[in-house]
Amino acid sequence: MYVDVAVDFSDKDRLRRYTYSVPSNLSVVPGDLLWVPFGYRPIQAIALSVSDSTETENVRPIDSVVPDGPFISEHLLRVAEWIADYYRTNIFRACVAMLPPGANRQLHIWVSKNPDAQEPVVLLSGSSDPTERASVLAELPPNRRVRRDRLVRKIGRPRERYLNALVRDGVVIEESIWNRPGANAIFKSHIVLVDDGQSVAEIVADYTKRHTHRRSELIHHLAAANEPVPRAELSRIFGPHIVKAVIDDGNVKIERVRVDRDPLADYSVQDTIIHDLTPEQQSAVESISQSIQSDSADEQNRKFLLFGVTGSGKTEVYLRAAERCIEVGRRAIVMVPEIAMTPQTLQRFASRFPGQIALQHSGLTLGQRFDQWHRIKNGDYKVVIGSRSSIFAPVDDLGLVVIDEEHEWTFKQSDRAPRYHARDVAERLCRESGATLILGSATPELVTYRRSSAVVNGHGIGRLTLSQRINQAVPVKDATDAASNSGAGFAAAKIVDMRLELYDAHREMLSRPLLDALRDNVDGGGKSILFINRRGSASFVQCMSCGTIRSCPNCQTPLTLHRNPRRGASNRLLCHYCSYSVGVERGCRECGGNGIARRATGTEGVEEAVRKFFPETPVLRWDSDTARNAAEHTKLLDEFQDKGNHILIGTQMVAKGLDIPAVSLVGVVSADIGLAIPSFRSVERTFQLLAQVTGRAGRADTPGLAIIQTFQPEHYAIVAAARQDYEQFYAIEIEKRRQYSLPPFAHYVRLMYSASENDDSQMEARSVRRRIEEYLQTNPKISVEVAGPSPAYPARLKGRYRWQLLLKGVNPPQVLDWVPLGRGWTVDVDPIEMI
């Protein structure tokens, strides 16, 4: 037998399979994890396919098969191949997230001083660069090895050659060592009675004869428990020597019981409430059920956008869909942007399907993830809830995938390969496995909504709309205050023109209308949230008369202000996409008014402003400084919910699906900051955030008020968000994207190079750009544009300087087939983080 495998070798030959033979004493199926010889060391490999013959010559046999496999289903293997191809990584990398947590072991090269080498001084004196070599050697501790890649990062890649020379001359030793396995099953010893026909009474009688009363008691204890008892527990009660004696007597035996580290072990489930569906929910559930129940439904009819405003009952639709899926004997994956942010979703699923819910997300310990993985694989759960990586959970018989808040950025993995988008992976997996896909959102990503409006490239999505909030669709029975349910069940939203505030010489961060509303709300005992967009920490230039933010003439993205540290030198505005740059001018090009440089304020600034006007009111600040983990989030949220008239100041975190009841006022401190973020997505993102935060006001039966402060009160994103009018926003934004050939009408690929020296980084980026241009010149049919190099944002991260190139076109990754990138480069296809 022969097996084709993927190994973690190189992204250049990323789709390459290697063939090995399987010795007759071993058996391999696709999805198995193997050890194979590669070069002159063993490495891990994933079996992709097996066959009886091969045309490859000189095949070597595999070393071993990791037990308990196969770990990856055929469906997921196909998905992995697609991920490797589309996101430009190798198949093995794409498979790693599908393996049991901790299964992927990496080989690291370690270096240390050779204790047997001659005195370095003597050795180095004859070499060509004695001082450089000596300085590299000085970085090595005397009697300890360090990881080579860490050392190289420390000394800088240009000095790596001195390290190489030291290795060559035997002054430094290199060793390859596999890291230890990350996670394992854990077992506990339990004690049970031996079933050999002897009754408890007989054993006890025997012990009584021997006057060994403690042993009799132990036997009684076990008989009463009627199930295996942990050995540790028996030792505590009877003492370890008695336990050992009874084992030695042959009356009891040890059983190893696997311990399940269950993240939901102490989770208290509330009673479930099953509502009668509203007509809109009913029809959505019917369409989805049809798709789940029918085998023949072709792929087109198995994808849905559940387009429903906040509080319109989407979660109830997911629950019904999951029920249907379970009824037909299949399982479901439900993805949420962040578990910590959406405790109610978990609560509602856990109460509807008690004991049937698995969790998969990065907040769990490795051990918990390991145990959950194996229990999912074992088929112990009907529904897996998790963050983006849960799409790789080993769910057989997959019938349904739900992605809640599908527009959220957390579904794209940006920080490491494979840089996949869970939504696209989910679509692929659903196609392979015949599962139904539901994408839910009040503010779907443009590309999703477009596909639900028309079939694009043969890929359509059915749209199911929930247009009404539940509190409007289901009238409150004893509604004394009927007026609160008027309108579409939304808060009233008010846009405040900050230009008028300036005009009236009110130079405060909080406008007069917002201050008035806050005062009313605080006096009335209501809770308020002030929202500040923190992502925009870059400075930008905005005209205070007309509100225009200076943007790039080539690509429409807002320009970022770079202050020149040299005195007297002028500041510049820079485009992070195409490196367009221009000096800062005084006047505004639109209206002749004065441009003013602005820097986004943080939550601290807002807090200061609030305390100035409301010294008596309790103020809570919610950002990554004050709430670092789930526990701290919950604590802050509890505090806010508990007592009276708090003012909560928060970043976009507060916008993410938090169900905070009775918030009667939401203030957006500056809608402009989001619009100034140098990304083609800044407008879309601003709309989404504004629509969501204003949706925070008046969730329960409180009517609520939302106030949006801006220098651009006419901006379509702001106007549409205030009216919760997605279609209006979509109609304008999609035309702009078309006009400037921006996604979804084109794809971006972001190439980033990082190095410890700024010049090295920039030079390498320049040379790759030149190579790409040469290639494009000789292949005029390929329509790809290349921009950059421009500094990534932030330009320096963890001591490394980062420069980037952007490719844009219909199929930009194809360029990389011809212009391969060396080490130090990362490739991000369809990047979310553009700057």
Binding site for ligand ADP (CB under 6 A): 275-278, 281, 308, 310-316, 470, 474
Nearest approach in angstroms of CB 552 to Zn ion is 3
Based on CB atoms, which residue is closest to Zn ion, 552 or 683? Answer: 552
Based on CB atoms, which residue is closest to Zn ion, 539 or 581? Answer: 581
Nearest approach in angstroms of CB 821 to Zn ion is 23
Q: Which of 352, 346, 356 is nearest to 382 (CA)?
A: 356
Provide the 10 A C-beta neighbour count for residue 9.
17
CA dist 388 and 361 (Å) reads 8
Nearest approach in angstroms of CB 313 to ligand ADP is 3
Based on CB atoms, which residue is closest to ligand ADP, 328 or 470? Answer: 470
Nearest approach in angstroms of CB 483 to ligand ADP is 20
Nearest approach in angstroms of CB 700 to ligand ADP is 9
SS (H, E, C) 31-84: CCEEEEEECCEEEEEEEEEEECCCCCCCCEECCEECCCCCCCCHHHHHHHHHHH
Based on CB atoms, which residue is closest to Zn ion, 349 or 577? Answer: 577
Based on CB atoms, which residue is closest to Zn ion, 302 or 576? Answer: 576
Nearest approach in angstroms of CB 572 to ligand ADP is 45
Ranges within 696-755 binding Zn ion (CB under 5 A): none
Q: Which does 577 bind (CB under 5 to 8 A by kind): Zn ion, ligand ADP, none?
A: Zn ion
Residue corresponding to tokens 């690509």: 555
Based on CB atoms, which residue is closest to Zn ion, 496 or 575? Answer: 575
Q: Which amino acid is at 435?
A: A
Q: Which does 544 bind (CB under 5 to 8 A by kind): Zn ion, ligand ADP, none?
A: none
Nearest approach in angstroms of CB 799 to ligand ADP is 43
Q: Which does 419 bind (CB under 5 to 8 A by kind): ligand ADP, Zn ion, none?
A: none
Q: Which does 315 bind (CB under 5 to 8 A by kind): ligand ADP, Zn ion, none?
A: ligand ADP
Based on CB atoms, which residue is closest to ligand ADP, 179 or 344? Answer: 344
Query: What are the distances in angstroms from CA 9 to CA 2, 6, 90, 91?
Result: 20, 9, 8, 10
Nearest approach in angstroms of CB 696 to ligand ADP is 11
Q: Which does 281 bind (CB under 5 to 8 A by kind): ligand ADP, Zn ion, none?
A: ligand ADP
Based on CB atoms, which residue is closest to Zn ion, 74 or 785? Answer: 785
| Tokens of residue 628, six digits | 């670092």
Q: Which does 552 bind (CB under 5 to 8 A by kind): Zn ion, ligand ADP, none?
A: Zn ion
Query: What are the distances in angstroms from CA 295 to CA 328, 433, 719?
Result: 11, 11, 45
Based on CB atoms, which residue is closest to Zn ion, 92 or 680? Answer: 680
Q: Which does 275 bind (CB under 5 to 8 A by kind): ligand ADP, Zn ion, none?
A: ligand ADP
Based on CB atoms, which residue is closest to Zn ion, 272 or 556? Answer: 556
| Tokens of residue 320, six digits | 């019904």
Q: Which does 678 bind (CB under 5 to 8 A by kind): Zn ion, ligand ADP, none?
A: none
Nearest approach in angstroms of CB 597 to Zn ion is 19
Q: Which of 31, 67, 49 is nearest to 181 (CA)?
A: 67
| Tokens of residue 801, six digits | 């300087």
CA dist 737 and 728 (Å) reads 15
Nearest approach in angstroms of CB 77 to ligand ADP is 34
Provide the 10 A C-beta neighbour count for residue 214.
16
Q: Which does 310 bind (CB under 5 to 8 A by kind): Zn ion, ligand ADP, none?
A: ligand ADP
Nearest approach in angstroms of CB 683 to ligand ADP is 24
Provide the 10 A C-beta neighbour count for residue 757.
14
Say how many residues make up the chain.
Answer: 835
As a dihedral over the C-alpha atoms of residue 244, residue 247, residue 252, residue 257, rounded to 10 degrees, the angle is: 70
Ranges within 546-605 binding Zn ion (CB under 5 A): 552, 554-555, 575, 577-578, 580
Q: Which does 580 bind (CB under 5 to 8 A by kind): ligand ADP, Zn ion, none?
A: Zn ion
Distance of CA 10 to the CA centre of its chain: 25
Based on CB atoms, which residue is closest to ligand ADP, 278 or 804? Answer: 278
Q: Which of 372, 381, 379 is nearest to 396 (CA)?
A: 379
Nearest approach in angstroms of CB 834 to ligand ADP is 29
Q: Which of 84, 745, 592, 634 is nearest to 338 (CA)?
A: 634
Buried residues in 319-342 as b, exposed as e (16+ CB within 10 A): bbbbbbbbeeebbbbbbbbbbbbb
Q: Which does 554 bind (CB under 5 to 8 A by kind): Zn ion, ligand ADP, none?
A: Zn ion
Q: Which does 729 bind (CB under 5 to 8 A by kind): Zn ion, ligand ADP, none?
A: none
Based on CB atoms, which residue is closest to ligand ADP, 22 or 402? Answer: 402
How many residues make contact with Zn ion (CB under 5 A)?
7
Please give the DSSP secondary-structure letter assigned to residue 412. Answer: B
Nearest approach in angstroms of CB 545 to Zn ion is 24
Q: Which of 515, 558, 531 is nearest to 689 (CA)?
A: 531
- At residue 391, φ and ψ (nearest 5 deg) are -65, -20
Ranges within 423-482 binding Zn ion (CB under 5 A): none
Q: Which does 474 bind (CB under 5 to 8 A by kind): Zn ion, ligand ADP, none?
A: ligand ADP
Based on CB atoms, which residue is closest to ligand ADP, 436 or 443? Answer: 443
- Residue 710, judged by CB atoms within 10 A of its CB (0-12, 13-18, 19+), counts as buried
Q: Which of 502, 443, 442 is nearest to 710 (CA)?
A: 502
CA dist 22 and 61 (Å) reads 6
**Binding residues vs Zn ion (CB under 5 A):** 552, 554-555, 575, 577-578, 580
